[in-house]
């Protein structure tokens, strides 16, 4: 199995690739963060080394690319043959965001999410996560923001996600501010608490979906282990210890979570927290027992939340047409 070179020291790369000296390992890392991933194009390496090290320096490869107006989705094959997806989103104003996967599949089994139907296969290593970003940047635009909203529950693969973030943040690598990195969670309370203790100033997004324990437990299994009260306590601690505004991702499901009572429950949950509720109409997925609310139903729900003084953002989901929107990433492994 080919190992990713990110997060390896120059000495380790020297050993892995039988190089003459550690500084050649450093040269390879410098090339990789610039998007030069083919050994033959690393002209600062001695010619004989380049000739010996043929092919790509990445452990993963892009199998397929699908474009829509505002997003590009890549199907990536890992060195053990498993497949993941990563998406580059554009806001139309030259701001590009990488939506990264943190696991192959996911154990959380949220019933509105396609990844959840795959079950959990394995965690991605930090190097594999960084390679997703490199593949997306090789599409040709500088990426300024990162969201962990692809396949997997990022806070369950906490150590590897944080190691990858250290590379994204490193001034000598991708130099992306923590404030431009968002970790999304289904509400995995131990992970939120760990993040709180570490005080790494990344942004946090929580997939709320419902602020009613009975409904949320039906839709998201995690709520049976960490119900709303525990989740809210963890979010209050996160903000008391310096965490900034939290985004509550609210996937709108027709006739399930978009009535007045649901808005009242969300307002109750949000009390005492600084949150933005991001309203996302559910993206249709075959064989799932949900429907997308009509524009009118969604707009009305937005209005109800605003009446309670809740800050909302409501946009039609980018990437809908290429199955690259929230909850729609899944691969056949």
Q: Minimal distance in Å, beta carbon 15 to ligand SF4?
A: 36
Q: Does 132 bind ligand SF4 (CB under 6 A)?
A: no
> By the 8 A CB rule, do 19 and 46 touch?
no
- Residue closer to ligand SF4 (CB basis): 107 or 200: 107
The correct pick among 153, 265, 302, 304 for binding ligand SF4 (CB under 6 A) is 153
Ramachandran assignment for 251, one of left (phi > 0), alpha (psi -120 to 50 degrees), beta (any other): beta
Contact pattern for ligand SF4 over residues 184 through 213, marking x by CB under 6 A: --x--------------------x------
71-77 and 61-67: which strand pairing?
Answer: antiparallel
- Residue closer to ligand SF4 (CB basis): 37 or 223: 223
The correct pick among 4, 25, 127, 152 for binding ligand SF4 (CB under 6 A) is 152
The correct pick among 110, 162, 181, 183 for binding ligand SF4 (CB under 6 A) is 110
Q: Minimal distance in Å, beta carbon 323 to ligand SF4?
A: 13
> By the 8 A CB rule, do 108 and 209 touch?
no
Rounded to whole angstroms, the Cα distance separating 13 from 6 reads 9
- Residue closer to ligand SF4 (CB basis): 45 or 208: 208
- Residue closer to ligand SF4 (CB basis): 42 or 155: 155
- Residue closer to ligand SF4 (CB basis): 19 or 106: 106
Rounded to whole angstroms, the Cα distance separating 135 from 60 reads 9
Rounded to whole angstroms, the Cα distance separating 8 from 21 reads 15
Rounded to whole angstroms, the Cα distance separating 130 from 284 reads 30
- Which segment (39-47, 106-114, 210-218, 304-312) binds ligand SF4 by CB under 6 A? 106-114
Rounded to whole angstroms, the Cα distance separating 298 from 280 reads 9
Residues of 182-218 as b/e, b for ≥16 C-beta within 10 angstroms?
bbbbbbbbebbbebbeeebebbbbbbbbbbbeebbbe
Q: Does 113 bind ligand SF4 (CB under 6 A)?
A: yes
Element holding 130 (H helix, E strand)? helix 126-137
Q: Does 115 bind ligand SF4 (CB under 6 A)?
A: yes
71-77 and 103-105: which strand pairing?
Answer: unpaired
Q: Does 106 bind ligand SF4 (CB under 6 A)?
A: yes
110 is catalytic: no
Site residue total, ligand SF4 (CB under 6 A): 13
Find the angle CA(205)-CA(210)-CA(211) to the nearest 5 degrees.
90
DSSP letters, 60-71, are: -EEEEEEE-SSE
> By the 8 A CB rule, do 152 and 104 touch?
yes
Of the residues 11, 77, 85, 131, only one is catalytic, namely 85
Q: Minimal distance in Å, beta carbon 225 to ligand SF4?
A: 13
- Residue closer to ligand SF4 (CB basis): 22 or 109: 109
- Which segment (55-63, 69-77, 113-121, 290-298) binds ligand SF4 by CB under 6 A? 113-121
251 is catalytic: no
Residue ranges in contact with ligand SF4 by CB under 6 A: 106, 108-110, 113, 115-116, 151-153, 186, 207, 327
Which residues are marked as active site? 85, 326
């Amino acid at each position: 199995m080919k190992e990713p070179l990110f997060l390896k020291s120059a000495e380790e790369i020297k050993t892995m690739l039988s190089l003459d000296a550690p500084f050649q390992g450093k040269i390879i890392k410098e090339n990789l963060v610039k998007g030069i991933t083919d050994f033959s194009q690393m002209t600062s390496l001695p010619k004989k080394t380049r000739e010996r090290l043929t092919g790509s320096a990445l452990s993963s490869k892009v199998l397929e690319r699908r474009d829509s107006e505002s997003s590009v989705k890549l199907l990536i094959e890992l060195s053990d043959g498993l497949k993941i997806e990563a998406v580059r989103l554009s806001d139309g104003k030259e701001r590009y965001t990488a939506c990264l996967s943190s696991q192959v599949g996911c154990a959380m089994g949220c019933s509105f999410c396609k990844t959840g139907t795959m079950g959990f296969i394995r965690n991605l290593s930090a190097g594999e996560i960084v390679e997703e970003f490199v593949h997306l940047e090789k599409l040709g635009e500088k990426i300024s923001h990162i969201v962990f909203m692809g396949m997997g529950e990022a806070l369950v693969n906490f150590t590897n996600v944080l190691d990858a973030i250290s590379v994204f943040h490193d001034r000598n690598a991708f130099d992306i501010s923590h404030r431009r990195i968002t970790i999304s969670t289904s509400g995995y309370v131990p992970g939120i608490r760990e993040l709180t203790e570490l005080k790494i100033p990344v942004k946090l997004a929580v997939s709320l979906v419902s602020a009613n324990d009975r409904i949320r437990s039906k839709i998201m299994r995690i709520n049976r282990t960490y119900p709303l009260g525990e989740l809210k306590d963890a979010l209050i601690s996160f903000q008391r210890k310096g965490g900034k505004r939290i985004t509550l991702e609210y996937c709108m499901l027709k006739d399930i979570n978009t009535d007045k009572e649901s808005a009242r429950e969300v307002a109750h949950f949000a009390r005492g927290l600084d949150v933005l509720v991001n309203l996302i109409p559910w993206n249709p997925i075959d064989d799932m027992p949900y429907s997308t609310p009509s524009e009118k139903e969604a707009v009305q729900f937005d209005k109800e939340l605003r009446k309670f003084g809740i800050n909302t953002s409501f946009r039609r989901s980018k990437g809908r047409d290429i199955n690259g929107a929230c909850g729609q990433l899944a691969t056949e492994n």
